[in-house]
């Protein structure tokens, strides 16, 4: 029976954890993360290997996108458009910064970002950092790698298994700071109760297959423990690259302050305090 909107709607709390690790081989961590659990904003960037100052590019990507979002999300609910514009603006800024510095002229980064609200996620990506959805035990990659190897897979020249270990899998067809024009892809996804989300760099997906990622992401443990187990799995498999993960899901159970949002081993990472979101 209609109640004229007077019934208090059930509160949905966002649980999230962000974790980054230098890995076992690299001398620098070129990944950057930003989690604003209060707003439901999840941002992740990976400084591109082979480019100078990849860590700077990744940090700039996060900062420029974040600044753009803070302005552009005011007064609009069209988050997909806002996200796409923020990436285009970040690309222009990174290109400009690179051109001003002879040392950093080739810096670039991949980027994936998601804006969550109860029941819905808007997302954007460019490069090969990934966004996954785990629903009812099934893992779906919502992003699509902007790589040459992915194009070979799409054309039927390579299998997914062959692509996993292909020596050229890191060759990007799109990225931030790579070209004067950036072409991010965007999407919008309805979120169901029980859905779990993962944003990650290739330091995870190069080392851990999707079957294992699905298993770990679905474990009935705290969100920070899930993030930790994913990073540990990448390191146990060799940890050849920096590995970064953001894990998030909505939960209708009120939570304690100490596990609302968690992170560890932070590198250029910020985790803002979480407040309860309402559906
Ligand atoms: Ca990487």
For 217, half-sphere exposure in the C-beta direction (CA atoms, 13 angstrom radius) is 32
Rounded distance, CA 275 to CA 278, Å? 10
Which of 154, 173, 176 lies closest to 54 in space, CA to CA? 176
Q: How many whole angstroms from 255 Cα to the centroid of ligand 1?
A: 33
Predicted pLDDT at 78: 93
Predicted pLDDT at 51: 52
Q: How many whole angstroms from 243 Cα to the centroid of ligand 1?
A: 7
Superfamily per CATH, domain 13-270: PPM-type phosphatase domain (3.60.40.10)
Tokens 């796409």 label which residue? 84
Q: DSSP states of 241-260 as a string? A: S-EEEEEEEEESS---GGGS
Q: How many whole angstroms from 1 Cα to the centroid of ligand 1?
A: 53
Q: How many whole angstroms from 235 Cα to the centroid of ligand 1?
A: 13
Domain ranges of the chain: 13-270
Q: How many whole angstroms from 277 Cα to the centroid of ligand 1?
A: 32
Residue 163 burial (CB count, 10 A): 18
Rounded distance, CA 243 to CA 232, Å? 9
Q: How many whole angstroms from 100 Cα to the centroid of ligand 1?
A: 25
Q: How many whole angstroms from 75 Cα to the centroid of ligand 1?
A: 35
Q: How many whole angstroms from 155 Cα to the centroid of ligand 1?
A: 25
Distances (CA, A) of 73 to 67, 70, 225: 10, 6, 31
Cα angle: 229, vertex 117, 247; to 5 degrees: 5
Q: How many whole angstroms from 57 Cα to the centroid of ligand 1?
A: 13
In degrees and rounded to multiples of 5, residue 48 shows phi and psi of -75, 130
Predicted pLDDT at 172: 92
**In this predicted model, which residue has the larger pLDDT, 261 or 232?**
232
Distances (CA, A) of 32 to 136, 259, 278: 30, 22, 28
Single pTM value for the model: 0.87
Q: Could you tell me what percent of the chain has a pLDDT over 70?
A: 83
Quick one: CA dihedral 67, 120, 141, 261, positive or negative?
A: positive
Q: How many whole angstroms from 121 Cα to the centroid of ligand 1?
A: 24
pLDDT digits (tens, 9 = 90+) for 145-201: 999 999 999 999 999 888 888 999 889 999 998 889 999 999 999 999 999 999 999
Q: How many whole angstroms from 80 Cα to the centroid of ligand 1?
A: 25
Q: Which residues contact 193 (CB under 8 A, 6 or more apart)?
A: 250, 252
Predicted pLDDT at 248: 97
Q: How many whole angstroms from 202 Cα to the centroid of ligand 1?
A: 5
Predicted pLDDT at 278: 25
Predicted pLDDT at 10: 55
* 50 within 8 A of 260, measured Cβ to Cβ: no
């Amino acid at each position: 029976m209609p109640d004229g909107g007077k019934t208090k709607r059930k509160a949905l709390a966002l649980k999230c954890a962000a974790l980054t690790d230098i890995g076992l081989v690299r001398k620098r961590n070129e990944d950057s993360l930003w989690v604003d659990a209060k707003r439901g904003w999840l941002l992740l960037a990976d400084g591109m290997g082979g480019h100078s100052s990849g860590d700077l590019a990744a940090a700039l990507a996060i900062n420029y996108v974040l600044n753009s979002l803070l302005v552009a999300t005011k007064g609009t609910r069209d988050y997909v458009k806002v996200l796409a514009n923020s990436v285009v603006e970040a690309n222009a800024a990174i290109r400009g910064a690179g051109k001003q510095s002879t040392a950093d002229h080739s810096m670039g980064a991949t980027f994936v970002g998601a804006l969550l609200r109860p029941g819905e996620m808007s997302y954007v990506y460019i490069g090969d950092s990934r966004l996954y959805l785990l629903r009812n035990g099934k893992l779906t990659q919502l992003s699509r790698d902007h790589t040459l190897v992915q194009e070979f897979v799409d054309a039927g020249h390579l299998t997914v298994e062959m692509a996993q270990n292909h020596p050229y899998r890191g060759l990007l067809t799109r990225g931030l700071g790579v070209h004067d024009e950036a072409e991010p892809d965007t999407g919008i996804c309805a979120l169901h109760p029980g859905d779990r989300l993962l944003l990650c760099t290739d330091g995870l997906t190069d080392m851990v297959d999707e079957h294992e990622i699905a298993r770990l992401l679905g474990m009935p443990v705290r969100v920070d423990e899930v993030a930790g187990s994913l990073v540990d799995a990448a390191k146990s498999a060799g940890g050849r690259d920096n590995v970064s993960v953001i894990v998030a899901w909505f939960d209708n159970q009120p939570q304690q302050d100490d596990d609302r949002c968690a992170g560890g081993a932070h590198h250029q990472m910020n985790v803002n305090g979480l407040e309860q979101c309402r559906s």
